[in-house]
């Protein structure tokens, strides 16, 4: 593909950020936008100079001039929308959380693999300079063997029953919207957990407003994660190893620096600032993967997306008291089929 032609579905706030970022990335352009409201699609098209505006998702799916679709609809629609575009032969970048549960995530991955199409969860943190530097520091062994990840992400919003954060029908709650960031950091550093213990508070609208979980990973490593939509948290993270630590300042999901402390050696602050809103890095990764004929990103593979969804399932089950007592063990997702 000389120019990758994007369609955007769900022209809300995050989609607007995506469209802004697209302006700074070479090799792609947004050629179509779809909404359940033609008025919203038209307004978005006017704002970002997008020629084709659809008031129906199926019309965009049928557009032969769209190569890949960015799914930015509410989380409750991620599975049906993604499956529909995959069935139409489109590559898909799906906003986080990828799905409401691991079962949905598996079905989405299976459809993409069966059709040989690219599919990725848009966890933008993974592609930011700080996270790339974090991965490099871990790979080089600068802090030794990582044994503990502590991360939290929480803010206080007023209760609005129809807002996506407080509406169970839209996949609301602290865990799926914010908790996914601390969980994905544990996954990046320690792999998939073997055991999960969690508790939390369900608010008046029926969503989890505050959660805390301890994840036990292979080799005795632990992840301690917290998230909230009614409580202000530090929004920082720390990775502790046998020979040092790495600190991510607020906001831990999009930091502009990280501090690596080694013993002996002291602390080194590493600048990881960037221009723009940061979404351009995940767009560039999609372009790279498509140019190289990859159907998955090695930075955010589908196997890991499914593992993260499984961890979120395990936490949510205990916060909602299903089962009512004890901890929940989840399966190791290492047997997930990967593309050859």
Which residues are part of the catalytic machinery? 96
Q: CA-to-CA distance for 260 and 57, rounded, in angstroms?
A: 46
Longest dimension (CA), the chain: 61
For 325, counting Cβ atoms within 10 Å of its Cβ (0-12 exposed, 13-18 middle, 19+ buried), the class is exposed
Count CB neighbours of 28 within 10 A: 19
Q: CA-to-CA distance for 328 and 312, rounded, in angstroms?
A: 11
Asked if 7 contacts 34 with a C-beta cutoff of 8 angstroms, the reply is yes
Q: CA-to-CA distance for 153 and 147, rounded, in angstroms?
A: 20
Look at residues 263, 139, 121, 128 and name the one whose alpha carbon lies nearest to residue 189: 139
Q: Are strands 257-262 and 266-271 parallel, antiparallel or unpaired?
A: antiparallel
- For residue 93, list its beta bridge partners: 70, 120
Angle between helices 13-22 and 280-291 (to 10 degrees): 60
Tokens of 297: 């990103």
| Residue 243: C-alpha distances to residues 130, 140, 162, 184, 216 (Å) | 20, 12, 48, 23, 20
- DSSP helix/strand/coil, 334: helix
Q: CA-to-CA distance for 148 and 241, rounded, in angstroms?
A: 7
Q: CA-to-CA distance for 26 and 269, rounded, in angstroms?
A: 31
Q: CA-to-CA distance for 168 and 100, rounded, in angstroms?
A: 11
Going across the sheet that includes 91-95, the strands are 52-54, 28-34, 4-9, 68-71, 91-95, 119-122
């Amino acid at each position: 593909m000389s120019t990758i032609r994007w369609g955007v579905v769900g022209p809300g706030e995050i989609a607007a950020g995506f469209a802004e970022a697209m302006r700074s990335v070479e090799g792609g352009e947004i050629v179509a936008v779809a909404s359940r409201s033609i008025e919203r699609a038209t307004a978005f098209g006017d704002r970002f100079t997008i020629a084709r505006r659809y008031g129906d998702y199926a019309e965009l799916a049928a557009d032969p001039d769209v190569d890949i679709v960015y799914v930015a609809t509410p989380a409750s629609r991620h599975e049906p929308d993604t499956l529909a575009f995959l069935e139409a032969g489109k590559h898909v970048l799906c906003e986080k959380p990828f799905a409401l549960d691991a079962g949905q995530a598996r079905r989405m991955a299976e459809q993409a693999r069966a059709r040989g199409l690219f599919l990725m969860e848009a966890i933008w943190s993974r592609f930011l300079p700080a996270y790339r530097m974090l991965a490099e520091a871990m790979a080089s062994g600068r802090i030794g063997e990582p044994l503990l990840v502590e991360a939290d992400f929480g803010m206080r919003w007023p209760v609005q029953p129809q807002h996506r954060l407080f509406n169970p029908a839209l996949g609301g709650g602290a865990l799926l919207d914010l908790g996914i960031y601390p969980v994905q950091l544990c996954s990046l550093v320690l792999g998939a957990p073997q055991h999960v213990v969690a508790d939390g508070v369900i608010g008046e609208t029926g969503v989890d407003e505050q959660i805390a979980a301890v994840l036990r990973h292979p080799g005795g490593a632990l992840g301690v994660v917290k998230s909230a939509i009614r409580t202000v948290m530090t929004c920082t993270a720390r990775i502790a190893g046998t020979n040092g630590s790495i600190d991510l300042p607020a906001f831990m999901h999009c930091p502009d620096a990280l501090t690596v402390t080694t013993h002996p050696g002291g602390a080194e602050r590493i600048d990881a600032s960037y221009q723009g809103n940061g979404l351009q890095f995940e767009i560039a990764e999609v372009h790279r993967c498509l140019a190289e004929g990859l159907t998955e990103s090695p930075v955010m593979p589908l196997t890991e997306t499914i593992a993260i969804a499984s961890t979120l399932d395990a936490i949510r089950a205990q916060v909602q008291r299903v089962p009512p007592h004890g901890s929940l063990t989840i399966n190791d997702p290492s047997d997930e089929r990967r593309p050859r």
